[in-house]
Structure 1
Amino acid sequence: MLYNKIDVHAHYLSPGYKKFLKDQFNDMGDGVKTPDYSIDTTLSIMDKTKIDYSIISISSPHINTGEASGTLELANEVNDYALTQHSKYAKKIGFFASVPMPYVDESVQVINQVAKTGQAAGFTLPTNSRGTYLGDPKLDPMMQALDDAHAIVALHPNAPGIVDSNVNPTVPQPILEFFFDTTRTVVNMLVNGIFTRYPNIQFIIPHTGAVLPLVANRIPLARSLNPDLRPEQLDIQSVMGQQYFDVAGMVLSQQLPALLELIDPDKLLYASDTPYTPTPVVLDLANRLETTDLLSQPMKQKMFNQNARKLFSL
């Protein structure tokens, strides 16, 4: 590995979260086998990939147990586990706190508690929680709490709220549906004014913007079909210009060039997506990013390290 890295999209599994995945998903959350995990998993991958600092977070299907009290309990458990790792490995491990979305009162409670301690790097939010999508007006108090905290929020895809079992039933959800859900969620947030009404939140959009780089030019055309939409509800260019994007996954040779036509390279952040992405694949993808001719050496330094260091004041 040629470049020292800061990883903004790495996952962990606490004991309570492992139990949740086993009890509710038979260890196949969103169709993905629960990986073996301890904090040593993260530390080993960091060493192999030349990652100096990892900001760990909970992955899909996230933590909604189906009712408020259980979701709040699980949120506290996963956050306590992450805080323990951060305290033990302060120079190597940070974390995004999980929020008991879509339960608004409980979510506001957790956001305020986490913000008060100041230990988390930010928060992670799923694109949807059992069908309640970011941008839904009933989540506005949660968004206001994040805005009040000047929070950094890393979005993460979930399987769609409604899945048609007759369409692509053998294709795992992360392959297609995660990208579609990220895209529909960002547009839903845009149309509902999340980015303008809560300007103090800095969002990180995963997987190089998912499908957004390919459809960004289409979004403003919606007004020609629905004149009731206001121009600011379709101003995806402003979103692309102001938010950050992680490069988790196979972003070369198609996604990253398309995204770079729309954003400043200073908004790119390195991401490994471990341990759900196997270590040999993480190494291969990192090598492709390190050696690509698409990015200059200064751009690579920013993507791998400097942009995150500035964003998180590391």
Structure 2
Amino acid sequence: MKFASPDMSKIYQNAERDDIDLRSLHFLDEALVSIKELSNPAVRNQDLPDFSHCTRIDTHTHPVPDWYRKLSPLAAGRDTPSWSPSAHLKFMHENDITRSIICISTPQANLFPDDETRTVALARLLNEFCFEVVRCYPDRFSFLAVVPLPYTDRAVKEAKYALEELGAVGVGVMTNHDGLYPGDQRFAGFWSYLGRRDPIDGCQKREIVFVHPTDPVIRVDGAQKIPISSSGGKLVSSNPAPFRSGLGEFYFETARAISSLTASTTIHDNPSLHFRISHGAGAFPCIADRFLLGFPELEKNARKMYSERFWYDSAGPVYPHQIKGLLAYDIGVGQMVFGTDYPYGIGFWDVKANINGLANADFLNNEEKEAVFHENAEALWKGKIERF
């Protein structure tokens, strides 16, 4: 049976319905061509590898449309990698991965600071691209939606569209959006919306939020006097180190994001939210005890949430050393999931060695390794991904 092409008119119609100006993006035509091209039989590669032996669930991967790579040629100081469905599927087959959860990496939709129109339009276009990847390969990919934060009302609308109409299995946010961290009071309405969504088909109420690091920035030129949506400010890098942020600052960003979510009581006020944390929680295990000294009234419940509603991936050189910080913090293996950061990890760290660090970890038994490689992810997404 012939595979149907995407309905491009529907993309326009839905954007117009939601008051999104796709034409504000000068690369729109190229992006729409790339979406349509995904369904091309030559691109889809009908002779897919045999995945019958594959069991692993990769919870941290990123599609990179060619037009997006041109817009954002650097990622954390490195060249943004190229990507294609066929290359991704080949990587999965070679590494015993049956399904990848994809989400656009930094800077997601935040390429146009203080430009709400284009940020909203870019978020929609990225979600339509990810939806098409999943539509073409439903047995191999699921996607997490990006949202146009810091514009909270528009982020709510985009999350609703992606979750309810496109079938996203969660949302992805960054450690900061235009310098605002996820616990900022201006984001409260977004978290509240996610927290009160109805459960799917009677399953346990659970919304999954993937927290991914991005470059730290600070607003100058009257930063304390203007709202984030004003055009009067300017965002500049606040990375204090002489080396690129991907080598260390990303881990500190992750710690800042968890701290922000905790101190703001966001995690306390929204009990149905489950947070998928990148890179083994980054630097947070090192600072958690000291940080929580400042919030004694939150500490007991926060520690409980870190061990029950936070899920930590293995992307990066996490095993066998870094992960021990979480284990020492009394985070159980049941909260650990597998991730590779494909394709961004390629050429940065030895992905094979990273996977083997988990596969050969002498402090985990075989049952625990199987849990990290796939069973924990299956439990997290149960009811949201059909095969789970």
TM-score for the superposition, normalised by structure 1: 0.90
- State the distance in 2 between where 1:17 and 1:205 align: 24
Alpha-carbon distance change, 16 to 146 in structure 1, aligned in 2, over 3 angstroms: farther
2:321 is the alignment partner of 1:248: no
Deviation at 1:239, TM superposition (A): 2.9
Larger radius of gyration: 2
Partner residue, 1:60: 106
After superposition, give the CA deviation of every residue in 1:125-149 in whole Å (9 maximum; x if it has no partner). 0010120110000111111121123
Structure 1 gap ranges (5+)? 22-26, 223-228
Q: Which runs of 4+ in 1 moved over 6 A?
A: none
Partner residue, 2:251: 179
Summarize the alignment of residues 15-34 of structure 1 with structure 2, pairs less than 5 Å apart.
15-21=66-72, 27-34=73-80
Q: Check the 8 A contact 1:111/1:145 in 2, yes or no.
A: no
Structure 2 gap ranges (5+)? 1-52, 198-205, 219-236, 383-387
Alpha-carbon distance change, 34 to 233 in structure 1, aligned in 2, over 3 angstroms: same
Partner residue, 1:89: 137
Q: What root-mean-square deviation, in Å, do the aligned CA atoms of Structure 1 and Structure 2 show?
A: 1.9
Q: Check the 8 A contact 1:126/1:157 in 2, yes or no.
A: yes
- State the distance in 2 between where 1:233 and 1:255 align: 23
Q: Which amino acid aligns with 1:36?
A: S
- State the distance in 1 between where 2:300 and 2:177 align: 24
Q: 1:51 aligns with which of 73, 97, 105?
A: 97
Partner residue, 2:241: 168
2:225 is the alignment partner of 1:159: no
Deviation at 1:164, TM superposition (A): 4.2
- State the distance in 2 between where 1:234 and 1:131 align: 29
After superposition, give the CA deviation of every residue in 1:40-83 in whole Å (9 maximum; x if it has no partner). 22111101111000001111122112211111111111111111
Is the partner of 1:94 in helix, strand or coil?
strand
**Higher RCO structure (Cα 8 Å, ≥6 apart):** 1
2:247 is the alignment partner of 1:199: no
Count of equivalent residues: 300
Deviation at 1:221, TM superposition (A): 2.1
Alpha-carbon distance change, 15 to 76 in structure 1, aligned in 2, over 3 angstroms: farther
- State the distance in 1 between where 2:320 and 2:361 align: 9
Partner residue, 1:225: none
After superposition, give the CA deviation of every residue in 1:122-178 in whole Å (9 maximum; x if it has no partner). 11000101201100001111111211234211100011123446x422x11111110
- State the distance in 2 between where 1:155 and 1:93 align: 19
Summarize the alignment of residues 97-108 of structure 1 with structure 2, pairs less than 5 Å apart.
97-108=145-156
- State the distance in 2 between where 1:220 and 1:35 align: 38
Q: Check the 8 A contact 1:265/1:299 in 2, yes or no.
A: yes
